[in-house]
Amino acid sequence: MSDSPDAAPSCYRHPKRETYISCQRCGRPICPECQTQAAVGVQCPECMAQGRASVPRRSPVRRVAAAMRPTGTPVVTYILIGACIIAYALQYLTGGALTQAWLMDPALAASEPWRLLTSGFLHSTAFAFPIHLLLNMYAIYVFGPALESFLGRARYLALYLIAAVGGSVAEVLNFQLVIATHGQIVEATGGFISYSASLGASGAVFGLMGALLVGRKAIGLRLTPLLIIVGLNLVIGFTVPNIAWQAHLGGFAIGAAVMAVYLATRRREHRPRQILGVAGIVAGLLAVVVVCVVTGAPYYH
């Protein structure tokens, strides 16, 4: 262990592991392996054992809820939910004009690139009951606070927006596949792979799930409940008709990638590398769109 005053603290149970996270109760530094999410912050194994001795056992559902409870007000999460609700109201008030202007149509990726992001704030108005909106907003409410508390507001917002764009880029790639096969893949897969316009925050939501899965140890979340939630959502995406599963996979992959960059550059002196890493992911997404547009020029408006 280094004697330098600038060195990171070491886990009290694993002296060779550096960490900036401390037990909420006793203050001792603990590495991700030793952390257990408490109602507020994380605790070391000894403090958790003492707490469990005096508190009745909670159900698995309540334990998951406690693990995802934020340590502060999740302002950005609430703003994102509010933005989607406002956009939904405007979709109605404009008679669908906003929907047509913002939804994700891969064929318009070149001429109207803002759709890569704006489509993530729209939701289907096809039903009298806003089930599409409510499901996505509930998912953001459940997954967002833990990430916002861990990453901070700016990094969390960047993760969300980039994951939303990643979901749209996956749809552009899907469109490019249809172009490259002259539509034959649509028939060959019975319509499973096909081209259509889409909308919804699902790409960003899956980005949050991907980020939580990658950062589960650092945040202090259990793996099994997360795998169950991610697995169920993936199954729904692949089995329920008219769901853009491509956006789900794209958002999930990009959310996981951004979180991996965050975790690899957690120290203050690594901040320039963090910015470059995240910017590189954004540049890569834009490069994919450019290549698709150039190679499939006749099909993009």
pLDDT, position 131: 86
On whether both 128 and 260 belong to a single domain, the answer is yes
- pLDDT tens, per residue, the chain with 301 residues: 444 445 668 888 888 888 878 888 888 888 888 888 776 678 888 888 777 665 455 544 455 445 445 457 899 999 999 999 999 999 999 999 999 999 999 999 999 999 999 999 999 888 766 888 998 999 999 899 999 999 999 999 999 999 999 999 999 999 999 999 998 998 898 888 888 899 999 999 999 999 999 998 888 887 777 778 777 777 776 666 667 889 999 999 999 999 999 999 988 899 999 999 999 999 999 999 999 999 998 999 8
Residue 68 within any structural domain of the chain: no
On whether both 86 and 119 belong to a single domain, the answer is yes
Alpha helices in the chain (DSSP H): 45-54, 60-67, 75-93, 97-102, 115-118, 131-151, 153-180, 184-188, 202-214, 216-219, 223-239, 245-264, 271-295
On whether both 244 and 124 belong to a single domain, the answer is yes
Residue 256 within any structural domain of the chain: yes
198 carries an active-site annotation: no
pLDDT, position 53: 60
Place of tokens 């965050």: 262
Residue 23 within any structural domain of the chain: yes
Residue 66 within any structural domain of the chain: no
pLDDT, position 52: 66
Residue 269 within any structural domain of the chain: yes
On whether both 10 and 125 belong to a single domain, the answer is no
Alpha-carbon distance of 85 to 185, in angstroms, equals 36
Q: Which distant-in-sequence residues (6+ apart) come within 8 Å of 298 by Cβ?
A: none
CATH of the domain at 102: 1.20.1540.10
On whether both 96 and 178 belong to a single domain, the answer is yes
pLDDT, position 237: 65
pLDDT, position 67: 47
Q: Residue 29 has what DSSP assignment? A: B
On whether both 81 and 53 belong to a single domain, the answer is no
Q: Helix 202-214 to helix 131-151 angle, to the nearest 10 degrees?
A: 30
Alpha-carbon distance of 103 to 126, in angstroms, equals 14
> Are the C-beta atoms of residues 11 and 30 closer than 8 Å to each other?
yes
On whether both 268 and 167 belong to a single domain, the answer is yes
Neighbours of 110 (CB within 10 A): 18
On whether both 248 and 135 belong to a single domain, the answer is yes
Residue 86 within any structural domain of the chain: yes
On whether both 103 and 25 belong to a single domain, the answer is no
Exposure on the CB side of residue 213, measured as CA atoms within 13 A: 20
CA proximity to 254, closest of 209, 221, 301:
209
Alpha-carbon distance of 159 to 208, in angstroms, equals 8
Total domain count for the chain? 2
Alpha-carbon distance of 115 to 300, in angstroms, equals 14
Place of tokens 């000894």: 46
196 carries an active-site annotation: no
pLDDT, position 1: 43
pLDDT, position 135: 87
Instruction: Write b or e for each residue in 149-175: b if 16 or more Cβ atoms lie within 10 A of its Cβ, otherwise e.
Output: bbbeeebbbbbbbbbbbbbbbbbbbbb
Q: Which residues pair with 36 in a beta bridge?
A: 43
Residue 238 within any structural domain of the chain: yes
On whether both 268 and 122 belong to a single domain, the answer is yes
Last residue of one domain, picked from the residues 28, 57, 86:
57
On whether both 147 and 255 belong to a single domain, the answer is yes
> Are the C-beta atoms of residues 29 and 11 closer than 8 Å to each other?
yes
Q: Which distant-in-sequence residues (6+ apart) come within 8 Å of 288 by Cβ?
A: 169, 172, 173
Place of tokens 């912050």: 41
pLDDT, position 23: 85
On whether both 52 and 84 belong to a single domain, the answer is no
Residue 70 within any structural domain of the chain: no
Pick the catalytic residue: 14, 248, 270, 301? Answer: 248
Pick the catalytic residue: 22, 168, 198, 202? Answer: 202
Q: Which domain holds residue 94?
A: 75-299
